[in-house]
């Protein structure tokens, strides 16, 4: 699904940028080649960043160190 149809940026593009270390909407926009956008794509972008952070937190909580 498109996050920004103007610059053809998809949710997968955004997740890829987040996985490569982008942390903020500004960083994701720069990495994906998006200019500061309209309100609609900005909302979708913030939603994806929040979702990605929650998923990463969940992953960290489920990973348990193993005894050596
Ligand atoms: S959807 Fe492209 S700038 Fe907002």
Quick: pLDDT tens for 22-53.
Answer: 999 999 999 999 887 788 899 999 999 999 88
Q: Is the pLDDT of residue 66 over 90?
A: no
Q: How far, in Å, are 33, 60, 65 from residue 23 at the CA level?
A: 15, 17, 25
Mean residue pLDDT across the chain: 86
Domain-located, residue 18: yes
Domain-located, residue 15: yes
Is the CB of 1 inside a 6 Å radius of any atom of ligand 1? no
Which one of 3, 5, 10, 33 would you pick to mutate in the ligand 1 pocket, going by the greatest count of ligand atoms within 8 A of its CB?
Answer: 5
Atom of ligand 1 nearest to the CA of 40: 4
Is the CB of 19 inside a 6 Å radius of any atom of ligand 1? no
Question: Cα(36)–Cα(58) distance, rounded to whole angstroms?
Answer: 30
Q: Which two tokens stand for residue 26?
A: 């500004």
Domain-located, residue 23: yes
| Count of structural domains within the chain | 1
Domain-located, residue 67: no
Contacts of 25 (CB under 8 A, 6+ apart): 42, 45, 46, 49
Domain-located, residue 37: yes
Please give the pLDDT value at position 2: 94
Question: Cα(2)–Cα(15) distance, rounded to whole angstroms?
Answer: 12
Q: Is the pLDDT of residue 17 over 90?
A: yes
Q: Please report, for the domain that includes residue 50, its CATH number.
A: 1.10.10.1100
Range(s) of the domain holding residue 52: 2-62
């Amino acid at each position: 699904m498109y996050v920004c149809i103007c610059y053809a940026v998809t949710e997968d593009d955004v997740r890829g940028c987040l996985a490569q270390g982008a942390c903020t909407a500004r960083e994701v926009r720069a990495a994906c080649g998006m200019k500061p956008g309209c309100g609609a794509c900005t909302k979708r972008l913030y939603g994806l960043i929040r979702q990605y952070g929650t998923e990463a937190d969940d992953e960290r909580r489920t990973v348990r160190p193993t005894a050596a």
